């Protein structure tokens, strides 16, 4: 009789939706579905939020350092144009290159002094690789000056990181002191020469807020010629920032550049520059995902208990079905189908609720970030469909495993055991 048509889907619907079912059993069924949905929703929202935060950090880092940064670990180097030509030969896919002069020093303002990193940029090319100019929150970016030496009475224009400006009490239009320590430089013939310590006056013409405290609290920007004149290293640079096409392997390009140039050069892609930070974010993401998966596991135990209660409630009906020819395999599939239906409804509802909440967070900027640390005052949300599929698939696997024991119990039960006390 039951071989002529598939009775399992019909019976599964009748077992779950029957008005004659125990009201408490129906309540437990919905509690199990809601538990699965809440777990899936939490995982969807949290992973999307962490993705958004990770993407924002990547934006800030690439906005300052480009996709790949080739830098000198020793003294500044000469002939940057020749070095750029060699970079293009090694990495033919490179789109843009800009060179810069980067060096640690001290700055002093009305409220005190602080350590800083001076970065002299090439105004013609650095806007094609970095987004520094786009993050000027007050004033303007420094203008080009003649590459001549600066005396103590002359002023060079600088743009300070917002947190650095707050630390030393400097505002747009005010004067600060740039304290250059003793350093080395390449002299004629590549020989090393010492630069005597000096103090240079600088005028703050702008404030830059990249959105990452590590950068906003340290960097001081000015033109390349201004930095070379301040440090006393005309025509010399320390780093080359590269912009690569999307989906290009920056790590492979960095390795190729490091191997080709050798000491004193070294290249890092944007992920390697803050490697520990991104590792910490990924670890945090895994830990949070494991913790939230516990919600789904608890809901899976609810599915087990719901199925066991349903088996107890439907003992007579199951025995009658078996007496009419309902096979063990059909009994097994029946309760697997019921459990999987609970898992599918919970997973789909959770994904829908999670995507809806993620959209609300992104559209209304519900989660605020401290504006004194981050460039934006809200947390961006990035939904990765591969992760959504993984969450949904893992939930269905857990739901399937939760159905195996109850289905096995009902499949091995005997007809007489179900009818004995009826």
Q: How far is CA 353 from CA 57, 358, 392, in A?
A: 27, 8, 13
Confidence check: pLDDT of 24 > 80: no
Lowest mean pLDDT among 260-269, 278-287, 390-399, 407-416: 407-416
What's the pLDDT at 342? 87
Start-to-end CA span in the chain (Å): 24
- The rounded distance, in Å, linking the Cα atoms of 286 and 303 is 25
What's the pLDDT at 111? 87
Lowest mean pLDDT among 57-66, 110-119, 120-129, 388-397: 57-66
Higher pLDDT, 407 or 194: 407
Confidence check: pLDDT of 77 > 70: yes
Confidence check: pLDDT of 160 > 90: yes
State the chain's mean pLDDT as an integer.
81
- State the average pLDDT over residues 52-60: 81
What's the pLDDT at 68? 92
What's the pLDDT at 350? 92
What's the pLDDT at 248? 82
- The rounded distance, in Å, linking the Cα atoms of 173 and 157 is 10
Confidence check: pLDDT of 121 > 50: yes
Q: Where does the pLDDT of residue 276 fall: very low under 50, low under 70, confident under 90, or very high at 90 and above?
A: confident
Q: Where does the pLDDT of residue 116 fall: very low under 50, low under 70, confident under 90, or very high at 90 and above?
A: very high
What's the pLDDT at 100? 92
- The rounded distance, in Å, linking the Cα atoms of 152 and 201 is 6
Confidence check: pLDDT of 251 > 50: yes
- The rounded distance, in Å, linking the Cα atoms of 31 and 229 is 71
Confidence check: pLDDT of 377 > 90: no
- State the average pLDDT over residues 204-211: 88
Coil, strand or helix: which one is 410? helix
Q: Where does the pLDDT of residue 6 fall: very low under 50, low under 70, confident under 90, or very high at 90 and above?
A: low
**Cα torsion angle, 230, 235, 240, 245, sign:** positive
Higher pLDDT, 256 or 12: 256
The percent of residues above 70 in pLDDT, for the chain, comes to 81
Residue 42: which of 401, 410, 391, 300 has the closest Cα?
A: 391
Distance from the Cα of residue 274 to its chain's centroid: 12
Lowest mean pLDDT among 121-135, 180-194, 204-218, 406-420: 180-194
Any idea where the domains of the chain sit in the sequence? 7-60+277-419, 68-247
What's the pLDDT at 60? 78
- The rounded distance, in Å, linking the Cα atoms of 157 and 179 is 15
Confidence check: pLDDT of 371 > 80: no
What kind and span of H or E run contains 376? none
What's the pLDDT at 299? 81
Coil, strand or helix: which one is 39? helix
Q: Residues 319-331: pLDDT tens digits?
A: 776 666 677 777 7
What's the pLDDT at 292? 82
Q: Residues 288-312: pLDDT tens digits?
A: 888 888 888 888 888 888 878 777 7
């Amino acid at each position: 009789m039951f071989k002529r048509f598939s009775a399992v889907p019909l019976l599964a619907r009748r077992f779950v939706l029957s008005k004659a079912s125990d009201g408490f059993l129906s309540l437990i069924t919905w509690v199990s579905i809601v538990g699965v949905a809440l777990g899936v929703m939490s995982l969807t929202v949290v992973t999307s939020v962490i993705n958004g935060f990770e993407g924002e950090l990547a934006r800030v880092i690439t906005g300052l350092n480009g996709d790949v940064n080739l830098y000198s670990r020793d003294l500044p180097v000469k002939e940057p144009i020749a070095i750029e030509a060699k970079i293009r030969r090694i990495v033919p896919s490179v789109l843009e290159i800009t060179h810069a002069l980067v060096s640690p020093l001290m700055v002093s303002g009305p409220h005190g002094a602080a350590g800083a990193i001076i970065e002299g940029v090439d105004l013609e090319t650095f806007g094609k690789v970095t987004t520094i100019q786009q993050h000027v929150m007050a004033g303007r970016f420094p203008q080009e000056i003649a590459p001549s030496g600066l005396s103590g009475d002359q002023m060079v224009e600088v743009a300070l990181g917002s947190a650095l400006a707050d630390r030393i009490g400097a505002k747009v239009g005010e004067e600060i002191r740039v304290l250059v320590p003793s350093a080395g430089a390449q002299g004629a013939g590549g020989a090393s020469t010492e630069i005597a310590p000096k103090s240079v006056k600088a005028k703050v013409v702008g404030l830059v807020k990249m959105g990452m405290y590590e950068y906003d609290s340290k960097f001081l920007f000015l033109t390349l010629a201004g930095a070379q004149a301040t440090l006393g290293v005309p025509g010399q640079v320390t780093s080359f920032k590269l912009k690569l096409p999307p989906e290009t392997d920056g790590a492979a390009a960095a390795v190729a550049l490091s191997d080709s140039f050798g000491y004193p050069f070294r290249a890092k892609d944007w992920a390697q520059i803050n490697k520990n930070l991104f590792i910490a974010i990924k670890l945090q993401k895994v830990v949070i995902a494991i913790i939230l998966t516990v919600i789904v596991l608890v809901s899976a135990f609810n599915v087990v208990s719901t199925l066991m209660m349903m088996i107890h409630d439907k003992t007579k009906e199951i025995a009658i079905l078996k007496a009419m020819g309902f096979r063990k395999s059909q009994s097994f599939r029946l309760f697997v189908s019921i459990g999987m239906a609970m898992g599918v409804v919970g997973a789909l509802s959770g994904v829908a609720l999670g995507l809806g909440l993620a959209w609300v967070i992104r559209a209304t900027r519900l989660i605020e970030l401290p504006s004194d640390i981050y460039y934006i005052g809200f947390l961006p949300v990035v939904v990765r469909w591969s992760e959504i599929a993984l969450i949904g698939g893992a939930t269905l696997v857990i739901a399937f495993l939760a159905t195996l024991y109850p289905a096995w119990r009902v499949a091995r039960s005997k007809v007489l055991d179900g009818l004995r006390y009826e």
